[in-house]
Amino acid sequence: MELSRFLHLTESVIAPFTLRCAAELKISDCIHAYERQAMPLKELARAIPIGPEKEPMLGQVMRLLVQQGVFAHSEEGYMLTPVSELMLSKGSDMGTYIYLVTAPENVNTFYKMGDWFKSSGVGTVYQMKHEGKSPWETTKENPFLSNLLNEAMASRSKKLMKDVVASCPQLFNGMKSLVDVGGGTGTTVKVIAETFPELRCTVFDLPHVISNVLKCDELFDAVGGNMFEKIPSADAVILKNVLHDWPDDDCIKILQKCRQAISPVEAGGKVIIIELTIDLETHDQDAIETTLYYDIKMMITFVAKERNRQEWHNVFQAAGYVNYKVHTVGLYSIYELFP
């Protein structure tokens, strides 16, 4: 029994690379374009296309992906599931997120975890692997990696924000302006602006990020700057997957800058935080493992972490936010903080 569990944990590293293979072969697009409900293996191999000698191996790949719920299978052939639909090019296109997670620059970092713990340095595991450079520095120097990061974050944000505005439209009631801090290329504010056209939205990020955004869309404004110095004024500020990059002290500083930027509570002023929350009491084992995987990723990349409900409460209180509400959308918690 112990050996079975050990082997499962060890060999599960194969899963993301098999998923990457499916993304590279555009299997979701092939099945989606097939005229019938289910696509036989032979037709899938022809559509990719691959040689007939590799068709049985493609079947092995599909068998694993079906077992994991990525695709469905019947006697007639293969079908999409809600998971594999996320990989459609004309859709969420989460294939780019798979490419980012399995990129050598990210995968190779994990090899340094043991060395980092045994070292006396104060940097991160990522910096140990990348000659002292942070992820922001390496992506800035590598246009391919920078574009991949932007595309991957955009694909994840698009799906997440569509779920958020559908499940919690009340978040955006009563406000006239919104700033997305650390908003990257603007995917989050674009989804919000399309849903609430009366809301004036601004994406705020580092100048070199914003330089790629300035002329990209008329739905929102783009402003470059440093969130530790000053955040543009607005009725509300949104922080999505930002605070988990930072230790508590820095999170408190960011949230204090947000308080200075937002309108009074009577005018609808608030901070909206969208982050994972560790909940070890849930019965959803996949949810627990996913948040803990992200927790390790934040540790090796930034010496930061995902937080449980009490840890979030402590950060909010230390930053001066006494009142807040919590909503849940899938894996994510949405915190409304009021000044």
Contacts 24+ apart (CB under 8 A), 192-200: 192/161, 192/165, 192/238, 193/219, 193/220, 194/219, 195/165, 195/169, 196/165, 196/172, 199/172, 199/175, 200/176, 200/234
- DSSP 3-state of 6: helix
244 tagged catalytic: yes
**Residue 322 DSSP symbol:** -
In the chain, the amino acid numbered 202 is: T
The one catalytic residue in 208, 244, 313, 327 is 244
CA 117 vs CA 9, 130, 205, 245, 291: distances in Å: 22, 16, 32, 19, 22
**Residue 234 DSSP symbol:** B
Closest by CA to 301, choosing from 113, 121, 141, 170, is 113
Encoding tokens for residue 315? 């950060």
Write out the catalytic residue numbers: 244
